[in-house]
Structure 1
């Protein structure tokens, strides 16, 4: 049997929400010229330190000179990172887009802190995170954690 192997080239892990999460998307700037637009709701597919992907019925340009702003709630904190779309596709009548955050160093640091805090709070309530922790702690080798060393 030929199995298709998918290679994850992302630098950062992406988290997929367990329940639908809608965020606000608006145009921020085109070719370094501010052109703010009215926000539209889009469905968040996944999110991480490096970027996110979302689904919408809007057809958007995938260009590196167009920046968008996404407003999302991380617990009590409202984040408004800017994103540049890198790829797109179509699935089930919706367009989906993926991109990377465009932030200054201090913005990225603040976003990472708030994002990590939010993920920690969400994962505490997740039963499978406890199973994962037990596997790592006992060094149980089920083929998924080969050569994993948490002591270094």
Structure 2
């Protein structure tokens, strides 16, 4: 009887953990400063170009990122930004939509998702994986975990993991 109770509690704990982390992609929290260029790309489907501003990238995934800045940005689905980031020798320029905002240490923290075509997403995914393998050279155990997670795309078991670099 005691064994079934502990298994039930373990199952409840796993359900709570899954409920807390609803992300579809692993988020990599950056330990060293990583700056990217942010500029306005389009509003309501009309292309508008603005000067770029440097913002501090806090974390990144295949689905999106979060960054810190002093800039006040609108949180709207019809406003698309362009983020220019350097992944090793590759310069990526994905579109970005801001989904939420918070405050931390006197800075505004924005998070959102990438906006890319299928071909752009495929190229970004390949370059992102290559960059992460190079960035995590000193951590062979992280390499194994990352490879295992990327090989298990369809079973959604990786949603319980939180990998930091």
TM-score clears 0.5: yes
1:59 aligns with 2:105: no
1:91 shift after superposition: 1.1
Q: Distance in 2 between matches of 1:131 and 1:74?
A: 21
**Cα offsets for 1:101-147 (capped at 9, x unmatched):** 000000000000000000011112236627969xxxxxxxxxxx9xx
Equivalenced residues, count: 131
Q: Distance in 2 between matches of 1:19 and 1:128?
A: 20
The residue number in structure 2 matching 1:138 is none
> 2:44 aligned to 31, 54, 57, which one?
31
The residue number in structure 2 matching 1:112 is 125
**Cα offsets for 1:60-107 (capped at 9, x unmatched):** 001000000000010000000000010001111100100000000000
The residue number in structure 1 matching 2:57 is 44
Considering fraction of residues, name the structure with more helix.
Answer: 2
The residue number in structure 1 matching 2:27 is 14
Q: Assess if the C-alpha contact under 8 Å between 2:40 and 2:50 holds in 1.
A: yes
Q: Distance in 1 between matches of 2:76 and 2:139?
A: 37
The residue number in structure 1 matching 2:91 is 78
1:122 aligns with 2:139: no
SS at match of 2:85: strand
Q: Assess if the C-alpha contact under 8 Å between 2:133 and 2:143 holds in 1.
A: no
Structure 1: gaps of 5 or more residues: 134-144, 146-152
Considering fraction of residues, name the structure with more strand.
Answer: 1
TM-score by length of 1: 0.80
The residue number in structure 2 matching 1:103 is 116
Structure 2: gaps of 5 or more residues: 1-15, 147-157, 159-165
